[in-house]
Structure 1
Amino acid sequence: MKAKKSKFISLDQLVDTEFGKSGQERRDEFDAGYQSFKLGFLLHEARMHQGLTQEELALKVGTTKSYISKIENDVKEVRLSTLKKIVEVGLGGQLHISIDF
């Protein structure tokens, strides 16, 4: 019996097809935007896991609900020092940063 060829492709294959390979300008722009979106999503998920509202998190770190919302929704970039405070003080976690080559 002959095996069926899958019609499905991986997310990596889709991104390569739509945006080109890593190192090409269009792909690099996509990757940068994805990383910003991913950060906001991760903060949102961590906040929800802690059972905190945006306002409660904002009060813990000395900022506003609006600012937390803008970070989570990728409307505003966040400074590294502020991100560290949100993660460590507000969420009780640890911030890990890596550089991959």
Structure 2
Amino acid sequence: MKTINLKTLSEFKDEFYGKNGTEKRDNLEKGYEQFKLGVMIHEARIQRGLTHEELANKSGTTKSYISRIENNIKEVRFSTLQKIVELGLGGKLELAIKL
């Protein structure tokens, strides 16, 4: 019988991307945060029952820009993110700094 040695996500990242603070690991974490932001915008848009075009019109941007953010193709400026969340989605943007 073959034994499978499972790793935690943290162990996997340490092994394949290096420890926290290394360039490769930092790039992975940054990419994940951008991906997560796109997913959060997508989920909020769906929850509000809005199309890409409707959200774009409400937030003063374009349909393709919203789509590119949701698909992790485009980085979003903070001021634009505020407009998308507050004007487009009717929400409140909250940020945190973790040290």
TM-score, normalized by length of structure 2?
A: 0.88
Residue 14 of structure 1 and its aligned partner are, at CA, apart by 1.7
Q: Which amino acid aligns with 2:15?
A: T
Residue 74 of structure 1 and its aligned partner are, at CA, apart by 1.4
Q: Distance in 1 between matches of 2:12 and 2:50?
A: 35
Q: Sequence identity, in percent?
A: 56
Q: Distance in 2 between matches of 1:25 and 1:11?
A: 18
The gaps in structure 2 that reach 5 residues or longer are none
Task: Give 1:54's match in structure 2, choosing from 42, 52, 55.
Answer: 52
Task: Report the equivalent of 1:43.
Answer: 41
Task: Report the equivalent of 2:24.
Answer: 26
Residue 49 of structure 1 and its aligned partner are, at CA, apart by 1.1
Task: Report the equivalent of 2:9.
Answer: 11
Q: Distance in 1 between matches of 2:21 and 2:46?
A: 35
Provide the alpha-carbon RMSD of the alignment.
1.6
Q: Distance in 2 between matches of 1:25 and 1:61?
A: 35
Task: Give 1:69's match in structure 2, choosing from 67, 70, 86.
Answer: 67
> Which secondary structure state, in structure 1, belongs to the residue aligned with residue 20 of structure 2?
coil
Give every structure 1 segment of 4 or more consecutive aligned residues whose post-TM-superposition deviation is greater than 6 Å: none
Q: Which amino acid aligns with 2:64?
A: S
8 Å contact from structure 2 (residues 59, 88) kept in 1: yes
Q: Distance in 2 between matches of 1:85 and 1:12?
A: 34
> Which secondary structure state, in structure 2, belongs to the residue aligned with residue 100 of structure 1?
coil
Q: Which amino acid aligns with 1:55?
A: E
